[in-house]
């Protein structure tokens, strides 16, 4: 059997985030429910709601990447602390609220 290496990564341009912050019903790629908007508004990072949504999506993608990366190879420098969810059960609620089912 061949040796297979999985590589995981996400990238987007900070000035082209329309698809990330627009609700699925309006052509975006995530479902921004009322509860997910409230979570975004509550975080201490970001100056605008759009900034906060991008931060929330970025952390969500980092959590998903973390599921694929062995902790010994994870080079994240994320400051994922403070008012963002830190318990897996809370992240599940966030993921559920912004990922289109």
Cα–chain-centroid distance for residue 98? 9
* Whether pLDDT at 86 is above 60: no
Buried b (16+ CB within 10 A) or exposed e, 7-16: eeeeeeeeee
Chain centre distance of CA 44: 15
- Taking only Cα atoms into account, the Rg of the chain, rounded to an integer number of angstroms, comes to 15
pTM recorded for the entire structure: 0.67
pLDDT tens-digit readout, 21-66: 999 999 999 999 998 898 889 888 889 999 999 988 888 887 777 7
Q: Kindly state the helix (H) or strand (E) to which residue 15 belongs, with its residue range.
A: none
């Amino acid at each position: 059997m061949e040796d297979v290496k999985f590589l995981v990564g996400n990238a987007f341009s900070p000035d082209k985030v329309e698809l990330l912050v627009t609700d699925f019903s309006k052509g975006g790629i995530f479902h921004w429910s009322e509860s997910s908007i409230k979570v975004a508004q509550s975080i201490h990072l970001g100056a605008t709601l759009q900034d906060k949504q991008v931060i929330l999506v970025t952390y969500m993608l980092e959590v998903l990447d973390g599921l694929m990366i062995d902790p010994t190879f994870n080079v994240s420098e994320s400051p994922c602390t403070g008012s963002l969810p830190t318990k897996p059960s809370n992240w599940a609620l966030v993921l559920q609220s912004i990922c289109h089912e």
